[in-house]
Amino acid sequence: MPLDRTRAPVFEALAAYRDQGRIGFTPPGHEQARGADPAVRDVLVE
């Protein structure tokens, strides 16, 4: 089975969890994701 590179299941799961409004998710020690891609920051940083 070929790898489906059009999806990012872990990232999608994080986004879905964030959208539930349960917690703020900023990885500790990672400077609030300042070096991350803007799409990743939108999901991981409140």
Note the pLDDT of residue 27: 59
Q: How far apart are CA 43 and CA 14, in angstroms?
A: 7
Ranges of each domain in the chain: 7-20+34-46
Note the pLDDT of residue 39: 81
Q: How far apart are CA 45 and CA 12, in angstroms?
A: 15
pLDDT tens across 1-46, in order? 788 888 888 889 888 888 887 665 555 555 555 667 788 778 777 6
CB atoms within 10 A of CB 35: 9
Q: What is the pTM of this model?
A: 0.44
